[in-house]
Structure 1
Amino acid sequence: MNDLNEEKQGILLESGTNELEIIEFQLRKQMPDGKEKIAHYGINVAKVREIIKVPETTEYPNSHPSVVGIFNLRDRLIPLVDLGHWLKVPTPEDPEVKRVIVTEFNRMFNGFLVDSVSRIYRISWENVESPSQFLESRETDCVVAVVRMENRLIMILDFEKIISDINPEQSMERYDVSLDKKIVQDEQMVSRRQSKTIMVVDDSAFIRKLIETTLRTAGYNVIVCQDGGEAFDMLMEFEQTAKSESQPIREMVSLLVSDVEMPRMDGMHLLKRLRERDDYKTLPILMFSSIMSDENRRKALELGANDTITKPEIGKLVELVDQYVFS
């Protein structure tokens, strides 16, 4: 399971099938009575570069308490994050049996220390449930989805949120559109935006709020959905309303901003299904994802996306939305 590039390539080439591959890994929670309770977690294969034994690390001054240190991997310095520490799950300290999941997303490399890694599963997004079906979704949640297996639940973690907490300098939270000199923000432009509605689809409450705040601050009306299934159902209702009132869809929603990885229906499959419908053939659609590789961008454009943005480049969002809404 060292180099996953070849395995990842296959699933990326089939984007739009509403399937994903996840790597299941475990943390062994140490209970007060001395027993262990195994917690099962997952991460999309598309975010994983490789899985390695625990490397030698060097302490980094003034780093986050969950950062063990930094290590060198193929001439690249990578921070090592103790995932159990960040999740407040006390785990065994034996480094010999632990593993490190090396990730690449948001144009950054990170290592996550876990207790064990079991296997890769290929599943349909339809079988991946929103955590709000188990508990009320909050902006502080770090679980974006849940997979039901025969005898356990696998929690898919919001790794973007974890990294933004550990490394705030790299977080999209730092961006303030009201201070962005590149964005036209005079009274006339803000008034034009106020007549338009943008739909934002993302399974991370943390990311959803950041995108919504950015667009609302610029003047846009915003509708938010937590996965592709919810967005598709709402857009079908818009389609019926538009037909009954004899008005174009763009009077109800002017543009769609969608993540790729989402429970129930992923962004690529949502894009594919919308482009199959006459009412949505020309709706501007932007894909905004942390796994927007060159290959994923090519596939998104082939499926009918107007453009793509790689997280954390939220500074490009309003400019692109303006371009496609008012062109």
Structure 2
Amino acid sequence: MSAVTEDKQKILLESGTNELEIIEFQLRKELPGGGEKISHYGINVAKVREVIRVPETTDYPNPQPHLVGVFSLRDNLIPLVDLAGWLGIRTKGEYERKNVIVTDFNRMANGFLVDGVSRIHRISWAEVESPSQFLESGEQDCVVAVVRREDRLIMILDFEKIISDINPELSMEKYDVTEDRKVLIDDRMTAKRQAKTLLVVDDSAFIRKLIETTLRTSGYNVIAAKDGLDAWEILTEFEHVAEDENLPVSDLVSMIITDVEMPRMDGMHLVKRLRASKTYSTIPIMMFSSIMSDDNRQKAMDLGANDTMTKPEIGKLVGKTDEFLL
């Protein structure tokens, strides 16, 4: 399995079909007695550029923890991350048997060292379960979803969180809306924003908290949903309340900001269903995703999104929201 084709990278966004493809890979945990235990993980094909053998790496001075080094691939310098090390899993250091998953999202390329890559699964997001089915909420927020397969569970990891932890300089956590001179935060603007309620939809607790904090600090009211189905149920309830109280639904929710990759129902399918609903056919929808290429942006707009942003652009989020609502 070398290069991941462009067709495969587009699977997630095929007209809101609520389908995706994941690459299943393994980490082999070394046990005290000398044996090993294989754990199964997954990553969305849309985030993967290719899978390669372990390349020659160059040590980087004063490296971040779990950074193996850097390597050159097609004229790009790419950091190589020891994924097992970051997860706290002890594995054998037989590099010649390992693989590297080269990712490309949030306008960054990274390599992740893994023990093996087995196959690609094409599945519906409806088959992808929230980790809260298995774990207490918040205890293991590096796992954003779980897929059941025959005799095993495949854990879908939060790669945005992993990268931000390894390289904090690239993290959205560094953004502080109160220090952004382009965002006006005074009594008048705060009051105007406080009259608006936003629904933020993201399966990553890490990303969801960053978006919520940014919007709330600027003055907006924020409601959060952990995936597309959760959001759909919240919005359906809003529709009933609006009907019962003879209110426009915009009094309850002014705008929706949604991720794309989410268990149970992805963001594209959520947008498709909302635009098919008379109640939500015109509400502003912003898609905020790590895989928002030009092609994917066009697919999102064709489905009815009003605008799109990539996740490193959190500094533009309040300004874009102001444009739609104020």
TM-score, normalization: structure 1? 0.98
Partner Cα separation in structure 2 for residue 6 and residue 295 of structure 1: 11
Deviation at 1:21, TM superposition (A): 0.2
The alignment status of 1:130 with 2:97, answered yes or no, reads no
Trace 1:86-125 onto structure 2 (pairs within 5 A): 86-125=86-125
Residue 21 (structure 1) aligns with:
21
Q: Percent identity?
A: 69
Distance 1:9 1:164, change over 3 A: closer
Partner Cα separation in structure 2 for residue 55 and residue 35 of structure 1: 27
Aligned to 1:203, what secondary structure does the other structure show? Answer: coil
Trace 1:41-80 onto structure 2 (pairs within 5 A): 41-80=41-80
Residue 306 (structure 1) aligns with:
306
Between the two proteins, the alignment pairs up a number of residues equal to 326
Per-residue displacement from partner, 1:241-294 (whole Å, max 9, x unpaired)?
Answer: 111111111100000000000000000000000000001011000000000011
Partner Cα separation in structure 2 for residue 87 and residue 127 of structure 1: 25
Deviation at 1:195, TM superposition (A): 1.1
Contact 1:140 1:206 in 2 (8 A): no
Partner Cα separation in structure 2 for residue 118 and residue 162 of structure 1: 22
Amino acid in the other structure paired with 2:325: V
Trace 1:228-239 onto structure 2 (pairs within 5 A): 228-239=228-239
Residue 142 (structure 1) aligns with:
142
Residue 321 (structure 1) aligns with:
321
Deviation at 1:10, TM superposition (A): 4.6
Distance 1:9 1:206, change over 3 A: closer
Contact 1:285 1:306 in 2 (8 A): yes
Per-residue displacement from partner, 1:142-168 (whole Å, max 9, x unpaired)?
Answer: 000000111100000000000000010
Amino acid in the other structure paired with 2:198: I
Q: Which runs of 4+ in 1 moved over 2 A?
A: 5-10
Partner Cα separation in structure 2 for residue 299 and residue 172 of structure 1: 25
Trace 1:247-286 onto structure 2 (pairs within 5 A): 247-286=247-286
Partner Cα separation in structure 2 for residue 58 and residue 197 of structure 1: 49
Deviation at 1:140, TM superposition (A): 5.8
Partner Cα separation in structure 1 for residue 183 and residue 136 of structure 2: 35
Amino acid in the other structure paired with 1:68: V
Contact 1:71 1:78 in 2 (8 A): yes
Aligned to 2:16, what secondary structure does the other structure show? Answer: coil
Contact 2:286 2:307 in 1 (8 A): yes
Partner Cα separation in structure 2 for residue 139 and residue 316 of structure 1: 30
Amino acid in the other structure paired with 1:73: L
Per-residue displacement from partner, 1:300-321 (whole Å, max 9, x unpaired)?
Answer: 0000000000011100100011
The answer for unaligned runs of 5 or more in structure 1 is: none
Trace 1:110-259 onto structure 2 (pairs within 5 A): 110-138=110-138, 141-259=141-259
Partner Cα separation in structure 2 for residue 168 and residue 9 of structure 1: 27
Amino acid in the other structure paired with 2:197: T
Contact 2:12 2:19 in 1 (8 A): no
Partner Cα separation in structure 2 for residue 9 and residue 160 of structure 1: 18
Distance 1:23 1:217, change over 3 A: same
TM-score, normalization: structure 2? 0.98
Deviation at 1:185, TM superposition (A): 1.1
The answer for unaligned runs of 5 or more in structure 2 is: none
Deviation at 1:4, TM superposition (A): 1.1
Deviation at 1:124, TM superposition (A): 0.3
Amino acid in the other structure paired with 2:265: M
Deviation at 1:53, TM superposition (A): 0.3
Partner Cα separation in structure 2 for residue 76 and residue 135 of structure 1: 38
Distance 1:9 1:145, change over 3 A: closer
Contact 2:12 2:21 in 1 (8 A): no
Of the structure 1 ranges 253-262 and 183-192, higher mean CA displacement relative to structure 2 is found in: 183-192
